[in-house]
Amino acid sequence: MEPLLQVKGLKTYFYTEDGVAKAVDGVNFEIGRERTLGVVGESGCGKSVTALSIMGLVRNPPGRIVAGEILFHRPDGILDLAKQDPRGTVMRTIRGNEIAMIFQEPMTSLNPVYTIGNQIVEAIMLHQKLKPKEAKQKAVEMLHAVSIANPERRVDSFPHELSGGMRQRAMVAMALSCNPRLLIADEPTTALDVTIQAQVIELMADLREKFHTSLMFITHDLGIVANIADDVAVMYLGKIVEQGAVQDIFHEPLHPYTLGLMNSIPAINARKGSRLVPIEGVVPSSYSIPPGCVFATRCPRAMEVCSRLVPELRKLSTDHRVACWLYDESMVGESA
C-alpha cells in the first residue's frame, strides 16, 4: 500500500487549570492512496482530536501537538504537518485544498448569514484562483455531483432553508470542490436519519472513486465502517488498540474492546429475547489515564500485568495489529 498520510507517535495534549488532558497519546496509522480508513471508538476516545491535529485546527492554547509526526506525501516531497505553523502559508495552502474536512454538524459549520453558494465559491476562489462567475458555475456543478436537486436554485439558498441531509451534502460539495487528495469526515452522518445516512455513505463512496480521493472516516458506528472502509483503526482513550484490514477486524476481532463494540451491535439474526451485551463502565477521564493498558479497568479478561505495563501495538499477521497482553506468549498464564 502506497501511503498518502503517515501518522507516527502523535501526541496532542490540552493544558488546562484541571491538569493535562492527554487526548491523543501516541497514535500510529497510515492512510493509503485512494483508500478509506475507518476510525472507530466511543465518544471521548480522541478520534476528532486526531483529525483536528492533522488539519492544524487544534486551538493553542490550551491544546498543542507535543510529539510525533504527520507525514503528508505530496508530489513535491514529504511534508511533516506537525511541524507547520497552523496559521502559516503552508497550512493555509493545504487546508481545504489538498486536505479537506467534513464536520459532524453542518448547521454549526456553515455560516448562517451567507448562502451555500457563497461559502463554496469562497473556497474555490481562494485555492483555485477562478473568477467569481467561473467559481459559482463550479459550485453549481459540485452541488449537482452530490445529487442536490435543482442546484442552480439551491446555490443561492441559506443553510436554514435546507434539510439536514441537504446541508450535509452541501458540506461534502464544499469539501470536494478543490479536489482534495485526502478527505476527513468526522461523524458526518450522526445527526441524520438512517435512510439519509445510507444515501450520504453511498455518495461519499462514489465520490471517492470519481475524484480519486483518500478518505478518513470517523465514526462510532461499526456498521458504517463495514460498508465504507478498506482499513480500520479502533481507538480507545487516545490510543489505537487494534488496526487492520476491514475483513480482518470484522471476521477475527482480537482486542477485548473491539469484541465489546461488536457485541453491542444489534444483530438481525439474533434469537428472540436475546439481549445486547454492553461494555461495562465508562471511558476514564483523559486527565487521569490509568497505568498499564488503558482498557484494563473495563476489560473482562484483564490480567495482573494489564494494570502495570502498557502493551505495544504488535503485528499478528500481514496487516493485523493489536495492543493486548493476551497475544504476548510470555504473558500467557498470568493471573487475573
Per residue in 177-189, pLDDT tens?
888 999 999 988 7
Helix (H, G, I), strand (E, B) or coil at 49: helix
pTM: 0.90
pLDDT band at 1 (very low <50, low <70, confident <90, very high): confident
**Cell numbers describing residue 152:** 442552480
111 secondary structure, DSSP code: -
pLDDT above 50 (res 325): yes
- The pLDDT tens digits for 221-236 are 888 888 899 999 999 9
Helix (H, G, I), strand (E, B) or coil at 197: helix
Question: Would you tell me how many other CB atoms lie within 10 Å of the CB of residue 320?
Answer: 18
**Cell numbers describing residue 20:** 493535562
As to burial, measured by CB atoms within 10 angstroms (0-12 exposed, 13-18 middle, 19+ buried), residue 186 is buried
Determine the Cα–Cα distance for residues 237 and 250; give it in Å rounded to an integer. 21
pLDDT band at 103 (very low <50, low <70, confident <90, very high): confident
Beta carbons of 152 and 69 less than 8 angstroms apart: no
Determine the Cα–Cα distance for residues 279 and 257; give it in Å rounded to an integer. 8
The number of CA neighbours under 13 Å toward the Cβ of 243 is 20
- The per-residue pLDDT for 335 is 47
